Amino acid sequence: MLRKPILPGLLLVVLAFAVSTASTGSGGAELRGAEEFAGIKNKSERSVALFTEAGKVIQHPRCVNCHPSGDSPLQGETGDLHEPPVQRGLGPVGMRCRTCHGPDNFDPGAVPGASKWLLAPRKMGWEDLSLGEICKQIKDPERNGDRTLREITEHMGEDHLVAWAWTPGAGREPAPGNQEILGELIAKWVKTGAVCP
């Protein structure tokens, strides 16, 4: 009995994956662009929809792990406590963040890295907050590092540390879409009144 080779079927699966990866920039995770919300006529509803879409990134482990509510960083896809156990700030003497985390990912050791690797301040913790609560925090200068909405847009759309979320290395799942799409979503959210969900 002759069997059909599986190569053509396998090739189709690989091609489909490649196309989906190319369209989103993150291994198939979808993040819709800001232009896809233009059809929502009500400006406030469009603003909420834009931020909700951006929330796919904001609430992703790549972001929440660096915005913990406690004093220990989180890691992994399920927000496990950082191992070895370190604390907010530079880390304890002998275990400063930069002892392990360099300017780039060290994939042989599965250690993430980016220049100026650090946690967001405690008042910017997103862990266990709803998207609406995170939105209100992002807009509040007392809880966002005294940033304007323009500066928030720049941070999300251009900051090198945020960019790491799409190149996390060592088997870590990248955030949905890419930084350019996130930046556009946040910019349009601001232009439509920065309405929270």
- Answer with the residue of higher pLDDT: 104 or 118: 104
Q: What is the pLDDT of residues 151-196, one digit of tens each?
A: 999 999 999 999 999 999 988 999 999 999 999 999 999 999 999 9
- Answer with the residue of higher pLDDT: 89 or 51: 51
> Is 50 exceeded by the pLDDT of residue 29?
yes
Neighbours of 187 (CB within 10 A): 19
What's the chain's average pLDDT? Answer: 85
Dist. CA 129–CA 45, nearest whole Å: 21
Q: Which of 167, 158, 147, 134 is nearest to 54 (CA)?
A: 134
> Is 70 exceeded by the pLDDT of residue 3?
no
Average pLDDT over residues 122-150: 96
> Is 90 exceeded by the pLDDT of residue 38?
yes
